[in-house]
Structure 1
Amino acid sequence: MINMQKSSLSLDPFSLPLHGQRLIEASAGTGKTYTIGLLYLRLLLGLGGRMLSPDL
Structure 2
Amino acid sequence: MPEYEVKLLLKPTAVLRLDKELQDTVLSTFAMPASATKQSIQFLDTDSKDIYAAG
Query: In which range does the TM-score fall when normalised by the shorter chain?
Result: under 0.3
Normalized against structure 2, the TM-score is what? 0.24
Q: Which has the higher contact order (CA 8 A, sep 6+)?
A: 1
